[in-house]
Amino acid sequence: MDNTDIYEEYPELREIMPRQPRRRKRRGMSNGGKLLILLVVMAAAAAILGLGLSLASGNTEIIYGADGAAREVPAGEVKKYLAEGWYASASDLTPVKLYAEDGTVVTARRGDADKLAERGYYADRAKAYTAMYNDDGRTLYVPNALTGTYKAEGWHDKLSDVVSVLYKSDGSKMTVPKAQAAAYIEDGWTDRLLKVAKKMVSPEGKEEMVFNDNVNAYLDSGWTIIKRVIDPDQPMVALTFDDGPGKYTPALLDCLEKNNGAATFFVLGQLANTYPDVIKKASEIGCEVANHTWDHLNATSAGAEKTAESVRRTSDAVRELIGKGTALYRPCYGAYNKDVLSAVNLPAIMWSIDTLDWKTKDADATYNAVTTKVYDGAIILMHDIHEATVNAALRIIPKLTEEGYQLVTVSELLEYRCGGAENAKVYFDTEDIQ
């Protein structure tokens, strides 16, 4: 919509109309009249002369009316005239287009742009419009008020939603529409940078992402591969293990360390003294030791007070081993209520992928449950007290790493994706927060 008369809507910005003199019929002039005219002319000449002298002395300024007429006024009165609708510069009369968030486009004088901006009309279209992108490669600037409508029709307000950056191990890089990415991936490209590159550091401390074809040359020059580097722009998942630690957990920790990954272990406090070295090793390699109560307490049947005491007791046992208590709580059986959350006063971590490993006790079933359902930002539930689960994990960890997923702790995942976890809130994944 192009409304060229914005001044109808805002009359205080209306053009200043100069007063027109009345027309009189011409008739003969008496000598007295002629004398009066002569006196008026002489007075006007004197005024013009005085005005010229004032201008020369710098006591006047030129202002401009909306009709383009220039007027010379005393410098001390300029503000008064500007408040009445005059303009300080001839450039203020230049027409400019202004944009509103509802799609309205108006034409106004440049000198009124600031006043109209206060009413939602902007000279900078980017303030009123949003760039929208389509899967077919089209880009469209849409009024802010209409972005919801366009999103419902399949448009996106983030370019990253419609394009993929693809890489090869030799350092090749290109950007393609997401609809075309699958064909390129089949041809040897990947959208996971960490599949074809590693973060390395020089002897002098310089860090750099190095593509795999060049890694050996960097190693020969004294560079080393950095472990546990998290790139917030790359996919990440949180593997979590409940009910341990157990006798199979050390093999799991070795696999995580070998693949530069980490996991979160929701431990039972009563097992802390049984497997102290396992808990210490988990912490040392960057894993997170979290809280699953002292003895697998059902919070809704035990009550808030008893559950909170069980959590505190577990946290104290962990603190004695690694120097810090637990920062996350997983409700046993997934059972909780508001009273429990308030009493425990820790972030309550649920899950978005349940492997049902405790039920199947089948390594292949657990492996398939993860690899066929995994997605960026997932929190995956397993139990490291089962041998079949750990055997599955020994395959899952290198597989996800190869696919370009970063294996991070729950706290790291929530920190990078939603600014961190809050006490007494329940988290199922980075997208589903209650």
For 102-111, the pLDDT digits (tens) are 999 999 999 9
Tell which residue, 236, 246, 211, has the closest CA to residue 225: 211
Catalytic-role residue among 292, 383, 384, 386: 383
- In a shared domain, residues 74 and 121: yes
367 is a domain residue: yes
Cα end-to-end span (Å), the chain: 42
For residue 177, CA distances in Å to 159, 161, 219 come to: 10, 9, 35
30 is a domain residue: no
262 is a domain residue: yes
- In a shared domain, residues 6 and 118: yes
Catalytic-role residue among 242, 243, 384, 429: 242
Convert 116-136 to b/e letters by CB count within 10 Å (16 or more is b): beeeebbbeeeebbbebbeee
- In a shared domain, residues 394 and 306: yes
26 is a domain residue: no
The per-residue pLDDT for 433 is 58
24 is a domain residue: no
231 is a domain residue: no
Structural domains of the chain, count: 4
At residue 22 the predicted structure's pLDDT band, cuts being 50, 70 and 90, is very low
pLDDT (tens digit, 9 = 90+) per residue, 321-371? 999 999 999 999 999 999 999 999 999 999 999 999 999 999 999 999 999
383 is catalytic: yes
Query: Tokens in use for 219?
Result: 């190693």
The per-residue pLDDT for 68 is 85
- In a shared domain, residues 4 and 146: no
- Single-letter amino acid code for the residue at 390: V
Domain range for 147 is: 128-161
184: Cβ contacts below 8 Å, ≥ 6 apart: 166, 174, 176
Q: What is the average pLDDT across 23-27?
A: 46
DSSP for 285-337? TT-EEEE-TTT---HHHH-HHHHHHHHHHHHHHHHHHHSS----B--GGG---
- Residue 243, pLDDT > 70, answer yes
- In a shared domain, residues 137 and 181: no
Q: What 3-state class would DSSP assign to 15?
A: coil
230 is a domain residue: no
111: Cβ contacts below 8 Å, ≥ 6 apart: 87, 88, 89, 92, 93
139: Cβ contacts below 8 Å, ≥ 6 apart: 131, 132, 133
33 is a domain residue: no
- Single-letter amino acid code for the residue at 364: D
